[in-house]
Structures are given as C-alpha cells and as structure tokens.
A and B are shown apart, each in its own frame.
Chain A
Amino acid sequence: MAGVTFSRVRKEFAGFLAVEGLDLTIEEGEFVSLLGPSGCGKTTTLRMLAGLEFPTSGEIRIGDRLVNDVPPGQRDIAMVFQSYALYPHMTVGRNMEYPLKKRGLPKAERKAKVAKAADMLQLTELLDRKPSQLSGGQQQRVALGRALVRDPQVFLLDEPLSNLDAKLRGYMRAELVELHARLGRTMVYVTHDQLEAMTMSNRIAIMLAGDLQQFAPPQEVYRRPANRFVASFIGTPSMNLIDGQLSRSDAGWHFTSPGLTLPVPALRDSAKAGDACLGVRPEHVHLGHGDLQAKVQLVEQTGHENIVVLDVAGGNRLTGRTPSSQVPQMSEAINYRIDSDQVHVFGPGDTGARLNADG
C-alpha cells in the first residue's frame, strides 16, 4: 500500500496551463476525490498520476517512489475509465485477465484471480460474454474487475459512474465505498458531481482553473468552505451569496447590502472593512417568522422538503428550505430571518477567501 504525493506539479499544454503548482498529499488507504468543473485540471492531474501525461515540472510520488518517468504499466496503479475502455474483441474473462497476462503470471494464478474478482463483483455468470453484450452497469463492473485483479497500490477512477442512470449510480456509489472499505487501497476518484465526492470520499480536493482551492474532509468543505468558489460549488441547492459591504463598529462586524443589515460572527484579524460577500446556506434561511420581509418567487417541492426562492429587498434572491408540510404560496409576502451565527463572509472576487475566524 502507498499514498500519493504531488509536489509543485505543473502541467502546460501548448500555451494552456492545465495544472498550476499542485501540492497534494494523499495518505495510504485514503479515498480522495478530485472535484471541479470541466477544465479545472482534475482529469489532467489523474492522468499525470497514471503516467498518461507527463508533468511539465514538479514531482509525483507513489509511496516513496518518484514516478515522473515511470511508464504507466510499471506504476503499480489501475485505472477505470469513463468510457470503461474494455477490449471489445475479448470476453469479460479475457478482459480481466489481460493485465495479469501482460505481467507474465502463470495461467492457473490468472484464472484464480479472475474468478475471485468476478465473484466479488457478481460477474461470474458473464465471464464468457463480450462487452457489447453487457449493459452499461455490467460493463462498469467489468472495468472495475479489470482494475481489481491487479491488486494495485493505487486505484484511479475517472468519472466511472457518469455514464450510468441515476438509480444505478446511487447503487454503484455504495458498492465503491464498500469495495474501498474491504480492500483498504488508496483510491483517487475524479468527478464533477459534488454528491459523489461528498458521499464517497475521505477527503475532497476541489480544483478550479488548474488551482487547488481546498483539500479537506467533506463535512469540513461543507461547513467551512475555503473560499467563495468552494462555497458555491458544494451543496444543493447552492449557498446564497450576496455582495455587499463589511463594516466594523464597537459591537463587532456588520454586513450591509441594500435592504439587509446583519451582524456577522467573529472574523479573522486580516478582515478589512469594504467590499465583501455574505454566504448563507438555504437551511439557515428560516421562513415564516423573523423581522425581514420577502416575496415568494418560486416553490420547488422535492417531496421531503420544499425549496423556496425569495425576492428580497435590493433585488437580491435568497433560497430557503421549508419542511414538506409548510408550502408557501407563490407571490405571497413572507417573513424570514437569517441565522447570523451560521453565515460565512468572503473577501471580494470569485475566489475571495473565507474570513470567518473559525476557519
């Protein structure tokens, strides 16, 4: 078993900076998700770890071994591709056996390993089929099986669930978590789906435009997002972000925006009065009581709760949540209050840092 270390890794493609000075240490046996929007560098990072791309500068280590110049086949990694990349002319059994064959394992040992992996993934019945005869979910499991037979130091997964339907995706998420628990191997998982990252990972690395924004456990990322981008990217519905001004008085810090003045929790010493952004999770906007007034713009009933979009003073919009029993009417005037202990304050700009003192 081994962890993975990226030190000042930089990757440039003909004039385009894909990854910028990445420092990331993944512990042995950890499940880490690389999360971010398209083009954020998460797939490039994974491909550099796989050896399919070479870093322009910096060092990548698997365990203690520097792997910058090691070809993919000798890195002791296995990868599951988004498209599965199963060899179409080989049966399921031969697909799974292939990496073992290339490593010169004797036939009996190969068969035993394939049988074991097939059993673990419920593929035994399908070993003689061709990939084209399988459903998407089955192909996905074969791709996983081909990675599994190798018993590699590190598993790399490149959006493996994105081609599955929602129900199967939920099922496979649980399967992967269980598999990780059983194998205890380091897994690096690339996704643009924050739900996958939140539910499966020990830690999430959130990237934007080649830059690492935050690397922390899911709850930490949710409760204390490092900056405005992370705050907006994590959570559904996403955090309310309101631009305004920060000011300080004897009573403490205050946030002001047209129609809204709110005391905010303690901020860091580095916090300065001036432009800022207030972040409020929808669950901290309480509807039906309080002294603030708004008009209901939209109600989305999801079944177990309602998502309510409010038009508030100053042209801002706020999203709140109500239990399924409390359904506000469209265009209704409603009272609300913001839980000021739970708000986040960010510096100006799209990636303005979080200023709360608890971070």
Chain B
Amino acid sequence: MSRSPQALLERRYARLGLLLIAPTIVVFCAVIVYPLLAAIYLSLFQLYTPTLEGSFVGISNYRDLLARGEFWISLRNTLVWTVGTLSLQIVLGIGMALMLHQAVWFRSLARSLILFPYFVSTVVAVLVWRWLFNDLYGILNHMLIGSGVVDMPVDYLGSMPNAMISMILVGAWKYFPFVVIAVLARLQTIPDALYEAARIDGAGPIARFFDVTLPQLRDVLVVIILLRAIWDFKEFDLIFLLTGGGPVISTQTLPLLVYKEAFALNQMGMAAAYAVVMMAIMLVFMIVYIRQTREKEAS
C-alpha cells in the first residue's frame, strides 16, 4: 500500500505541531499537573512539615476538616471577603471608568494615577494602610477625632466587624484599577451613534446607562468578575499582612488557614487537604469562566 504525498505531508505537519507544543506541555506538567497531583497525594497522609514523615491516613484528613468549626468559619470569611471586596471593586471600577471616559481636562493624568494602587507592591501598600489605620498615631483617627466625628480612637484592625470592613476596603482600593482599565477599554469601543439614537428615542442619562452602556459592558464584566473572584478567593498576602487573620480568626480566610496548618502547626497533610478543598471550590468558578469564553467564541 503506497501513501499519497498529501498524507505524508499531513503526517509531517502533525509531527511538527506536536514538537512545537511539547515545551508548553512539559512546563505545564512540571508546574501545574505535578504539584496538583502531589497535593492530592499529600492530603491522604498525616505529615510533619519539617521532615515530611508520617503515615497514610486515607480520607480521614477530609473527614476531620469538615468536622472542624475553623474550616467553616474560614470558608465563611473567604466568601464574605470575596463578595464584599469584589462588589466594591466592580462598583468603584465602573464608576471611575465612566468618569474617566467623559472628556475632562485631567483625563490622561487621572488615567495613569488611577493605576497606582494596582502597581504598588502589596507589602508597601499594606504597611501604609496599617499606618493610616493605626489606633494611636493613625491619621484616620486623628482626623476623625479632630473633626469631632468620634471622641474615642476607632480600632480598625483589632475588632470586628471593623477588621473585615477595613480589609474589604483596602482590597477594593488595591484591585479596582483592574476593573477601571478593562471597562474603560470597552467603553471606548461603544459607538456614539447608539447613545445618540437613545437620546432621540427619549432615553435620559440613567436609561442610557442601563439600556446602552451596561448591556455593552456585559461580556467584559462577566470575565472581570470571574477572574477577580478567583484571584480574591485565593488572596493571601494582603490579608496576611493587614490583619494576619485576626482578631483571633475573625478575618482568617482559607489560604491563611492552609498556611497556618502547613507552617505554623506543621501539619502538611492537613494543609494539603484544605488546599484541595479550596481548589474544588475554585473549580466551580473555573468551569463557569471556561464555559463563558467558549460561548463567546462560538457566537
């Protein structure tokens, strides 16, 4: 049986294709697939972190974790933090993008300034905020007492619900520029004629926002919300540096819990189990995101 030249050529192209994607596959396996499988494997053991010695315990880590109050408190904290800070990011982000989209003289300057919180390192940003929030020397308390709004210094980070609220506000401040940039880019592509048609059709500014702007932003907002939800859900450094999960565990989110189990309590197996559960929850976001992008590609 002789092969046609086309079939040979196609086979050669197919081999070239495999060769070209091979590096990506290797890196992907090394940095994603292996750690993922290793985490699942570790979660089936009781392990002492410094030596990684221990014994196989099957799914008992998972049974333990579901029975612990601390897991559920941390999960609730994670959800409160994610929903709270994400909603603020979206509202602030859209508001600011709409403002910057208007023809104002300081627009180009404002556009670069607005990115500042997003670019500044989390450690630096959180240190500054901790100084602002400080109950003894913080400028916030100084101003509030000076203007007579409060007569006692407010404990922003050491009491509840203040600590959670402060954390949500700092998170929103840090990450809303991402929303601004994405929304602004989309706003600039909405044709003016749509707004003009709406004005002639009798739509006021609010109706134009809901009937023209928002539907046009829908696609980009879905992507932003999903991406930011995933990122906020696994946020570690900002929370760890700002409150460390305190007071007690009132602002402790799941990533902080994983860290505590692994490196403070030296329970690597338990930490891995928490991490796997986190991944399972994030998988839900992931599936929604993938489905959304696939739908968009299809249309």
Query: Among B196, B202, B204, which residue has its beta carbon within 8 angstroms of that of A85?
Result: B196
Contacts of A82 in B (CB 8 A): 193
A146 interface residue per 8 A CB criterion: yes
CB interface residues, B 184-210, toward A, < 8 Å: 191, 193-194, 196-204, 207
A98 touches B201 (CB 8 A): yes
B200 touches A72 (CB 8 A): yes
A236 interface residue per 8 A CB criterion: no
Q: Taking A71-B199, A73-B200, A74-B202 as contacts, is the C-beta distance between A87 and B207 under 8 angstroms?
A: no
A304 interface residue per 8 A CB criterion: no
Tell which of B17-25, B168-176, B211-219 binds the partner: B211-219
Instruction: Report the contact-size class of chain A (Cβ under 8 Å from the partner).
Output: 20 to 34
A79 interface residue per 8 A CB criterion: yes
Contacts of B211 in A (CB 8 A): 87, 98
Q: How far is the CA of A359 from the CA of B212 in the complex (A)?
A: 51
Contacts of A102 in B (CB 8 A): 201-203, 207
Q: How many A-B residue pairs have CB under 8 A?
A: 60
CB interface residues, A 47-76, toward B, < 8 Å: 50-52, 71-74
B197 touches A85 (CB 8 A): yes
A222 interface residue per 8 A CB criterion: no
A263 interface residue per 8 A CB criterion: no
Q: Taking A73-B200, A73-B201, A73-B202 as contacts, is the C-beta distance between A85 and B191 under 8 angstroms?
A: yes
Contacts of A83 in B (CB 8 A): 191, 193
Q: How far is the CA of A81 from the CA of B211 in the complex (A)?
A: 18
Q: How far is the CA of A101 from the CA of B216 in the complex (A)?
A: 20
Q: Taking A83-B191, A87-B212, A87-B215 as contacts, is the C-beta distance between A52 and B196 under 8 angstroms?
A: yes
Q: How far is the CA of A72 from the CA of B193 in the complex (A)?
A: 13
The 0/1 profile, CB within 8 Å of B marked 1, for residues 91-111 of chain A is 000000011001100000000
Q: How far is the CA of A51 from the CA of B194 in the complex (A)?
A: 15
Q: How far is the CA of A36 from the CA of B29 in the complex (A)?
A: 65
Contacts of A289 in B (CB 8 A): none
Q: Taking A85-B191, A102-B207 as contacts, is the C-beta distance between A50 and B202 under 8 angstroms?
A: no
How distant is A130 from chain B, measured CB to nearest CB, in Å? 10
A79 touches B197 (CB 8 A): yes
Contacts of B194 in A (CB 8 A): 85, 87
Contacts of A85 in B (CB 8 A): 191, 193-194, 196-197
B199 touches A146 (CB 8 A): no
Contacts of A89 in B (CB 8 A): 215-216, 218
Instruction: Report the contact-size class of chain B (Cβ under 8 Å from the partner).
Output: 10 to 19
Contacts of A87 in B (CB 8 A): 194, 197-198, 211-212, 215
A78 interface residue per 8 A CB criterion: yes
How distant is A152 from chain B, measured CB to nearest CB, in Å? 9
How distant is B207 from chain A, measured CB to nearest CB, in Å? 7
Contacts of A79 in B (CB 8 A): 196-197, 200
Contacts of B215 in A (CB 8 A): 87-89
Q: How far is the CA of A81 from the CA of B194 in the complex (A)?
A: 9
How distant is B136 from chain A, measured CB to nearest CB, in Å? 54
A77 interface residue per 8 A CB criterion: yes
Contacts of A74 in B (CB 8 A): 202
CB interface residues, A 89-139, toward B, < 8 Å: 89, 98-99, 102-103
A50 — nearest CB in chain B belongs to which residue?
Answer: B200
How distant is B52 from chain A, measured CB to nearest CB, in Å? 55
Q: How far is the CA of A103 from the CA of B191 in the complex (A)?
A: 24
Contacts of B200 in A (CB 8 A): 50-52, 72-73, 77-79, 99
Q: How far is the CA of A168 from the CA of B202 in the complex (A)?
A: 31
The 0/1 profile, CB within 8 Å of B marked 1, for residues 27-52 of chain A is 00000000000000000000000111
A52 touches B201 (CB 8 A): no
Contacts of B191 in A (CB 8 A): 83, 85
Q: Which of A77, A82, A86, A102 has the most CB of B within 10 A?
A: A102
Contacts of B218 in A (CB 8 A): 89
A72 touches B199 (CB 8 A): yes
Q: How far is the CA of A103 from the CA of B193 in the complex (A)?
A: 20
- List of 8 A-B pairs having minimum Cβ-Cβ separation, nearest first: A73-B202, A102-B202, A99-B201, A85-B193, A85-B197, A89-B215, A72-B199, A72-B200
- 27 pairs, A vs B, C-beta closer than 8 Å: A51-B199, A51-B200, A52-B196, A52-B200, A72-B199, A72-B200, A73-B200, A73-B203, A74-B202, A77-B200, A78-B200, A81-B196, A81-B197, A83-B191, A83-B193, A85-B194, A85-B196, A85-B197, A86-B197, A87-B194, A89-B218, A98-B198, A98-B211, A99-B200, A99-B202, A102-B203, A103-B202
Given A85-B191, A87-B211, A102-B202, 9 extra CB contacts under 8 A: A52-B200, A72-B200, A81-B193, A81-B196, A88-B215, A89-B215, A98-B201, A98-B203, A98-B211
